[in-house]
C-alpha cells in the first residue's frame, strides 16, 4: 500500500520535534518540505533522502500546490517513503487536510504525525500563557490572511479572552482596527513574537491602539497574541536572584533528655 507521512516539524527548534517525527524522518527517501521548516530539523532527515523545497510565495500558491500534489504522486508511485513535512502541526493552517484528501482520492494512504503548533509553543516560550486562572479562560487561534479577514465576523471574538493570530503580520493594522471596531479595548495588550523558539526570536509588546495606527515594526513569521495574558511576560521572563542559603532553617537540633 502506497503511503505518505504528513508530518509536523514543530515551530523551529529541532528539540521540539516529536519522537515519531524524528523516527520517520530518519527512514525517509523523499522529504517535501515547506518554507517554515527549519534547517536544523531538515538536518535530522536520513542523509540519503532527497529534500524538495515546496515553499509557497504570495500569488503562486495554486501553481505550487499542484506541483506538490504531482510530486507526492510521482514519488509514492515508485515505492519511496515520502514525508510531507510542514511547520508546526500539519493540520493547523497548513493545507494538510486538503493534501490528505487529495492523496486518498488517488489511492494513497496517509499517516499523520502531529507537530507542536507555533500557536501554542511560541507564546509559551515567550512567557505568555494563552490561558490563566482568573484572567483568560478561553483562547482562539485565527488566521490573519487577508482573504479570510474580509469574511470574518469580528464580533464573535469579543467573547474570547486570548486571540492568537497566525499569518497576521501584513494585515496587523486591519486586524487591530477591526477588533477595536467590534468593541475590544484600545489599551488591550498585544505581543508579536518573531521567529519564536529560535535563537533569533524577537518580542514586541504593544497595544491594539498602536497596532491599528500602523506604528509597529514587525517581520514575518510572527505570532500575534492579543489579551491580558500578554502582561504575564514581564513576570515570567526575568532573571531570578539566587535564593539565600537558608540551610540553618532545615537543621534540627535534638537535645537529649536525661
Ligand atoms: C501557514 S501558518 C502554519 C502554522 C503551522 N501549521 C503551525 O501549526 O504552527 C504560518 C504562520 O505560523 C506562524 N509561525 C510559524 N512558525 C513560527 C515561528 N517560529 N515564530 C513565529 N511565528 C511562527 C506565523 O504566524 C506564520 O505566518
What is the H or E stretch that residue 189 is in?
A: strand 189-194
Mean pLDDT of 63-79: 93
Binning pLDDT at 50, 70 and 90, where does residue 246 land? low
Do 229 and 123 lie in a common domain? yes
C-alpha cell read off for 55: 515553499
Residue 89 among the catalytic residues = no
Q: Please report the pLDDT score of residue 59 as a whole number.
A: 67
Query: Are 72 and 158 found together in one domain?
Result: no
**Are 127 and 232 members of one domain?**
yes
Residue 241 lies in a domain: no
Residues 147 and 196 in one domain: yes
Domain of residue 207 covers: 119-236
Q: What is the pLDDT of residue 258?
A: 53
C-alpha–C-alpha distance, residues 13 and 46, integer Å: 18
**Residue 182 belongs to domain with CATH number:** 3.30.950.10
Whether 244 is in a domain gets the answer: no
Residues 227 and 142 in one domain: yes
Looking at the predicted structure, is the pLDDT value of residue 245 above 70? Answer: no
DSSP 132: B
pLDDT given at position 249: 57
pTM of the full structure: 0.92
Q: How many helices (H) and strands (E) does the chain have?
A: 10, 10
Per the residue annotation, which of 20, 50, 56, 80 is the catalytic one? 56
Give CA separation, 216 vs 50, 58, 71, 146, 239, in Å: 40, 22, 40, 18, 27
Structural domains counted in the chain? 2
Mutate to test the pocket of ligand 1, among 166, 190, 193, 201 (most ligand atoms within 8 A of CB): 166
Does residue 257 lie in a domain region?
Answer: no
Task: Indicate if 162 and 182 belong to the same structural domain.
Answer: yes
pLDDT, tens only, 156-165: 999 999 999 9
Spatial separation of the C-alpha atoms in residues 165 and 148, rounded to whole Å: 12
Q: List pLDDT tens digits, range 92-140.
A: 998 999 999 999 999 999 999 999 999 999 999 999 999 999 999 999 9
CA dist 252 → 248, 255, 257 (Å)? 8, 10, 15
Predicted confidence (pLDDT) per residue in 187-215, tens digit: 999 999 999 999 999 999 999 999 999 99
Higher pLDDT, 244 or 82: 82
**How far away, in angstroms, is 255 Cα from ligand 1 center?**
64
167 is catalytic: yes
Verify that 106 and 10 share a domain, yes or no: yes
Q: For position 253, what pLDDT does the model report?
A: 55
Annotated catalytic residue, options 86, 120, 167, 224: 167
Residue 108 CA to ligand 1 centre (angstroms)? 27
* Shared domain check, 221 and 163: yes
Q: Which of 32-46, 56-70, 192-206 has the lowest mean pLDDT?
A: 56-70
Q: Are residues 9 and 30 in the same domain?
A: yes
- Regarding whether 62 and 100 lie in a shared domain, the answer is yes
Nearest-angstrom CA–CA distance, 170 and 202: 17
Amino acid at each position: 500500500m502506497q503511503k505518505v507521512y504528513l508530518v509536523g516539524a514543530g515551530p523551529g527548534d529541532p528539540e521540539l520535534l516529536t519522537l515519531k517525527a524524528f523516527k520517520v524522518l530518519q527512514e525517509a527517501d523523499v522529504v517535501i518540505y515547506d518554507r517554515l521548516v527549519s534547517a536544523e530539523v531538515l538536518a535530522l532527515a536520513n542523509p540519503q533522502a532527497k529534500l524538495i523545497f515546496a515553499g509557497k510565495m504570495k500569488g503562486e500558491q495554486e501553481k505550487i500546490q499542484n506541483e506538490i500534489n504531482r510530486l507526492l504522486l510521482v514519488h509514492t508511485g515508485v515505492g519511496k517513503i515520502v514525508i510531507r513535512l510542514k511547520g508546526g502541526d500539519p493540520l493547523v493552517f497548513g493545507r494538510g487536510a486538503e493534501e490528505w484528501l487529495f492523496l486518498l482520492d488517488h489511492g494513497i494512504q496517509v499517516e499523520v504525525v502531529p507537530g507542536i503548533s507555533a500557536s501554542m509553543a511560541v507564546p509559551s516560550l515567550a512567557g505568555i500563557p494563552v490561558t490563566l486562572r482568573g484572567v483568560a479562560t478561553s483562547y482562539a487561534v485565527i488566521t490573519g490572511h487577508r482573504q479570510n479577514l474580509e469574511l470574518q465576523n469580528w464580533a464573535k471574538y469579543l467573547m474570547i479572552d486570548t486571540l492568537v493570530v497566525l499569518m497576521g503580520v501584513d494585515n496587523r493594522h486591519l486586524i487591530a482596527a477591526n477588533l477595536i471596531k467590534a468593541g475590544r479595548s484600545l489599551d488591550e495588550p498585544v505581543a508579536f513574537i518573531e521567529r519564536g523558539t529560535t535563537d533569533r526570536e524577537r518580542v514586541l509588546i504593544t497595544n491594539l491602539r498602536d497596532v491599528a495606527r500602523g506604528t509597529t515594526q514587525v517581520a514575518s513569521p510572527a505570532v500575534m497574541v492579543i489579551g491580558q495574558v500578554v502582561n504575564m511576560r514581564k513576570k515570567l521572563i526575568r532573571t531570578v536572584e539566587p535564593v539565600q542559603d537558608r540551610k540553618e532553617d532545615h537543621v534540627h537540633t535534638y537535645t537529649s533528655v536525661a
